[in-house]
Amino acid sequence: MIDAFHESSTTLFNRHVRNWKTDGGKVVGYTCSYVPDEIFHAASILPYRLRGVGAREMNIADAYFGPFICSLPKCLLQLAGEGKYHFLDGAVVTPGCDSMRRLDDCWRKAGEDRAEALPSFFFHYAVPHKTADYSLKWFIEETRRLQAAVEKHFNVTITDYQLYDSIGIYNEGRLLLSRLDALRCAPDVAISGADALAVVLASTTIPRKSFNSLLMDLIAQIEAGSDRISGRKRLMLVGSANDDVELVRLIEGDEAVVVADNLCFGARFYADLVEQDGDPVAALAKRYLYHNDCPRMFGDYKGRLSILKEKIERAAVDGVILQNIRFCDLHGSENGIFERDLEAAGIPCMRIEREYGPLVETGRIRMRIDAFLERLEK
């Protein structure tokens, strides 16, 4: 059963997206977990989290970005330039970080030179860097601007009723993912970190009703089964965006299991529900702005540290791996502070700098993981 999730997590144009397009459906890609899926779902559009899976060279991306920048947005631009996002009817870019903000500029410029690279709907969705009453008020209006742009371009009307229906469906998926998370961090681990990541990644590409049904079946299968993972060191993965199942598999090897994470392709993605009363657009803006945040959000380091410590205790974590993509200043800087404070609290940590996804150096990382596990053993 888990194979269905792995297929969707390791390919761009998976069978669910192909079937959606064959049936005449529209697909809009987006770059960040701060973008509200429900806006698109309510318009009968498939929201699709953009990933750099399959990028093997950087010749197009280097021409627009240059070499000294995070390799995630570069992989996204490379794939766009190669026409690998041919199935997209639109794209939404956010200023998740400065590198992602530059993706908006570079992708538009690439579209001038390569018309096939730029989808017809291309929207910059700004996200505040603070959680405050005034920033929420502004973000509500920005979300209304996104809704209006979708309605105009795709010639649809998004009603409050449709939004409430979509909120309910996505909340159901978040609750199911939280159930899977409980199985993952239980004393007798019921699912590996690699398989758990595959499930979360699939949730960003599969139509949500179909995903919820698949996940319910998987949870029932896991709960009814007797296979458990025991006798391994329990690790937590923190830091930059990671959508590479093989990286987690490499970390786990034969001696460890990743029982918890704090990643935007992970627990941060499905943390917190959307309120289902009042103004649905305001409820969406509130959830997406205030959900378990990342270091792009100013002034909330203590809150993020508290979330880490709570997860470490709940999942009985033996050690924490703090990873960041090279040139990711936000996570690279915050990981250093996390390491200081977690080590002071008696929680062993290891920091890794890596390239994004398929560009990762497996031998070097495996050697460092082995050394870290030896430290935990001692």
Q: Determine the Cα–Cα distance for residues 62 and 303; give it in Å rounded to an integer.
A: 37
Rounded Cα distance between 349 and 236, Å, is: 9
CA-CA distance, 84 to 296, in Å (whole number)?
A: 29
Parallel, antiparallel or unpaired: strands 90-93 and 26-30: parallel
Q: Which uninterrupted H or E stretch holds 28?
A: strand 26-30
243, part of any domain: no
Q: Enter the tokens of residue 158.
A: 């998004």
Residues 6+ apart with CB under 8 A from 323: 237, 238, 239, 240, 242, 331, 335, 351, 352, 353, 354
Cβ-Cβ contacts under 8 Å for 155 (sequence gap 6 or more): none
Question: Is 280 domain-assigned?
Answer: no
Which two three-digit tokens encode residue 222?
Answer: 């896991």
Identify the sign of the CA torsion 26, 30, 36, 37. positive
**Residue 330 counted as domain residue:** no
Rounded-to-integer distance, Cα 354 and Cα 338, Å: 18
- CATH number, domain of 106, equals 3.40.50.11890
Asked if residue 103 is part of any domain, the answer here is yes
Q: Which pLDDT does position 1 carry in this prediction?
A: 79
pLDDT tens for each residue of the chain, 378 residues long? 798 899 999 899 999 999 999 999 999 999 999 999 999 999 999 999 999 988 988 999 999 998 889 999 999 999 999 999 999 999 999 999 999 999 999 999 999 998 889 999 999 999 999 999 999 999 999 999 999 999 999 999 999 999 999 999 999 999 999 999 999 999 999 999 999 999 999 999 999 999 999 999 999 999 998 899 999 999 999 999 999 999 999 999 999 999 999 999 998 889 899 999 999 999 999 999 998 788 999 989 999 999 999 999 999 999 999 999 999 999 999 999 999 999 999 999 999 999 886 656 788 899 999 999 999 998
Q: Is residue 95 part of a domain?
A: yes
CA separation for the pair 118, 85 (Å, rounded)? 9
Q: Residue 64 domain-assigned?
A: yes
Token pair of 57 as six digits: 């060279």
Cα–Cα–Cα angle for 147, 153, 158, rounded to 5 degrees: 40
Helical residues (DSSP H) of the chain, grouped into ranges:
2-10, 15-22, 37-42, 59-65, 71-81, 98-113, 133-154, 160-184, 193-203, 208-224, 245-252, 267-270, 280-290, 301-314, 329-344, 362-377
Q: How far apart are CA 325 and CA 39, in angstroms?
A: 30
- pLDDT at residue 360, as a whole number: 61
What's the domain range around 39?
A: 13-158
Question: Residue 358: its pLDDT value, please?
Answer: 60
Pick from 49, 54, 52, 84: which is nearest to 71 by CA? 52
Q: How many domains does the chain have?
A: 1
What local confidence, expressed as pLDDT, does residue 81 receive? 95
User: Does residue 354 fall inside a structural domain?
Assistant: no
Q: Say which residue the tokens 């915050």 belong to.
A: 334
Residue 263 DSSP code = -
Which pLDDT score is estimated for 291?
87
Kindly state whether residue 221 falls inside one of the protein's structural domains: no
Between CA 292 and CA 130 the distance in angstroms is: 13
